[in-house]
Amino acid sequence: MANVVVDPKKHPEAVLGDFKNPDPLVTFKPKDVAFVYGSKWKQRYFVKRGDDYYVLGVQWDVIAKMWRKYTVDPGTDWWVVHYPADPMQRPTGPLCDGCHSTNYDVATKHVTEWNVGCEKCHGPGAAHVAHPTLTNIVNPARLDQTRGNDVCIQCHSQGQPLEKPLNGVYYDWPVGYKAGDRLSDYWRLEEHKLGEETFTHWPEGSAHKNRMQGNDFVQSQMYKRGVACWSCHDAHGTDNDALLVKPVASLCTTCHNPLSPAGPNEPTLEHSHHSVGNAQCVDCHMPKIAREIANFNVRSHTFRFIPPAATELYKVPNPCTTCHRDMSPANATATILKWPDVSPWRVQ
Ligand code: HEC
Ligand code: HEC
Ligand code: HEC
Ligand code: HEC
Ligand code: HEC
Ligand code: HEC
Ligand code: HEC
């Protein structure tokens, strides 16, 4: 999170796109670019015009190692109708920078630092630096459950500001929100109607788009029971993928084990009917169904098992037939119904 936005003049190694082999989509050189944005899934390129930045119309797909067009088309985000189609009329200040910098000031367009800095999660720190005590700095883990997770959800969500436009400008981030506030005073999560597919949601309510971990997680029983984003992720950095506090294979069983009240209620975790080598918890409870770029998806965070019957009803992918490509949803349902530890009422 600390290294998404990088100036390629200072860090040429941050440029991932292939600028050696000509591509008709690519009409610029790294030297024309003020910032490169992203390194894990996709990289976008910003140019400076006046006191604003703009995103060029091409992006590097880091996973597939290829160039793809970058446009935000009508119907693919709520703010599109409020901006001209020309990308050079869509400044990043209102549309991106609030989440990709620390202390973006909408009046001066200045930031105290690019990327996710300490103050974005811990609030203003000057008083704490001058005189460090426990009470003059925000620690998300000491806030109540809602305000604590809100610190992460301010960026990891799709939503709309309550006040729009703000002084004539449509922002796609919660202007004014600081760590410790209630995010719902500034930001409304994107709504969803059961049975309807939208640019953000599958018809059964799971996220269909990237950076929706917050929209998903608030639906989970874990969120209601005090589990937080940082129960599983350490934002300050770890050696595991996705900043997990433990490798993915042993993370869930920290809390879900035969001695734990968190369920499922069984002496071992045999309810999966698979050995760990064949299917891990995350394969069934966090399927990759939220689109990050092209056909590459990130994991769902509702943690619910999406039954094969939901595929038939709502066209949302289910974990069983995603892995077992030759199995039909109806056969998968028939199989699950034979498992004594799964309630038929929940999967039919
Ligand atoms: C993306 C959000 C995020 C960023 C950025 C972040 N932190 Fe944290 N920090 C947290 C969360 C959440 C906790 C509480 C959970 C935990 O301890 O893991 C925390 C806890 C801490 C603690 C422990 C406090 C205690 O009482 O034990 C310290 C110290 C700390 N952070 C310092 C920093 C510093 C210094 C930076 C910048 C270099 C920083 N953090 C950046 C989210 C963040
Ligand atoms: C200011 C916006 C912002 C806030 C606040 C924020 N994030 Fe992030 N987060 C990002 C961005 C941007 C990325 C993409 C990073 C990249 O490209 O490597 C990211 C990436 C991540 C990743 C994936 C990293 C990887 O290597 O796959 C995790 C996990 C994550 N954030 C967890 C958290 C948690 C937990 C919190 C709250 C404690 C939090 N974030 C708060 C903006 C934010
Ligand atoms: C509401 C906060 C928010 C806004 C607004 C936002 N982003 Fe992000 N962005 C994130 C978070 C959080 C992530 C990482 C999680 C994810 O992608 O699922 C991310 C990821 C990215 C990545 C991928 C990074 C990587 O390493 O692959 C790129 C590129 C990016 N954003 C560019 C943009 C651009 C360009 C805009 C404006 C058009 C924008 N973002 C607007 C929060 C935001
Ligand atoms: C119960 C554990 C758990 C909780 C709670 C949790 N996550 Fe995750 N998260 C994971 C796991 C597991 C992965 C996938 C890691 C992998 O595939 O290697 C993941 C992946 C991610 C990623 C990277 C995208 C991807 O799918 O690879 C981001 C970003 C992220 N989580 C953010 C968040 C945020 C923000 C919250 C809180 C709103 C949160 N997570 C809550 C377990 C959790
Ligand atoms: C920090 C402890 C903790 C960790 C780590 C954890 N869980 Fe949970 N989980 C809980 C608690 C507590 C509940 C709620 C139990 C209850 O209400 O009876 C729960 C509930 C659930 C549920 C019930 C459905 C729902 O809405 O949430 C599922 C499924 C689940 N966890 C899957 C996972 C998976 C998969 C992982 C690993 C990626 C994981 N959990 C990691 C503590 C944890
Ligand atoms: C092969 C798929 C599969 C795997 C792998 C799997 N589960 Fe499940 N899990 C299910 C199904 C199916 C249900 C029943 C869903 C229901 O009743 O709605 C379930 C139910 C649960 C529940 C109760 C959910 C609730 O809403 O009350 C928890 C908790 C849970 N699993 C945790 C885990 C953990 C932890 C792991 C890894 C150790 C794991 N599961 C591995 C398929 C799987
Ligand atoms: C991560 C991938 C993955 C997921 C998700 C998954 N499976 Fe499997 N499954 C496997 C693998 C691998 C095997 C063992 C090799 C084989 O028999 O194909 C297996 C074995 C099976 C078998 C035994 C086959 C036999 O002939 O003995 C059945 C039945 C089955 N899975 C059904 C399901 C159902 C139903 C679900 C959803 C609840 C599911 N699987 C989810 C990968 C997966």
pLDDT tens by residue, 28-54:
999 999 999 999 999 999 999 999 999
Centre of ligand 4 to C-alpha 326, Å, is: 29
Question: In the prediction, which pLDDT does 270 show?
Answer: 84
Please give the Cα distance from 1 to 104 (Å, whole number): 16
pLDDT tens string 180-207: 999 999 999 999 999 999 999 999 999 9
Do residues 200 and 190 touch, judged by C-beta distance below 8 A?
A: yes
Q: Which atom of ligand 1 is nearest to the CA of 229?
A: 12
In short, whether 100's Cβ falls inside 6 Å of ligand 2 is yes
Q: What is the pLDDT of residues 235-277, one digit of tens each?
A: 999 999 999 999 999 999 999 988 888 888 777 778 999 998 9
Q: What is the per-residue pLDDT for 146?
A: 98
What CA–CA distances, in Å, run from 140 to 220, 234, 238, 339? 19, 12, 18, 41
Distance CA 301, CA 169 (A): 32
Mark out the alpha helices in the chain (DSSP H runs): 92, 118-122, 126-130, 145-153, 213-217, 221-224, 229-232, 248-251, 281-285, 308-314, 319-323, 329-338, 344-347
What pLDDT shows up at residue 195?
A: 95
Q: What is the pLDDT of residue 91?
A: 97
Give the list of residues 6+ apart from residue 278 with CB closer than 8 angstroms, or none.
Answer: none
pLDDT for res 48: 96
Pocket test for ligand 6, best of 271, 323, 336 (most atoms within 8 A of CB): 271
Amino acid at 98: G
The bound ligand whose nearest atom lies closest to the alpha carbon of 336 is: 7
Substitution site in 284, 324, 345 for ligand 6 pocket (most atoms within 8 Å of beta carbon):
284
**What pLDDT shows up at residue 40?**
95
141: three-class secondary structure by DSSP: helix
**Which residue ranges in the chain fall short of pLDDT 70?**
none
Quote the CA–CA distance of 226 and 258 in Å, as a whole number: 20
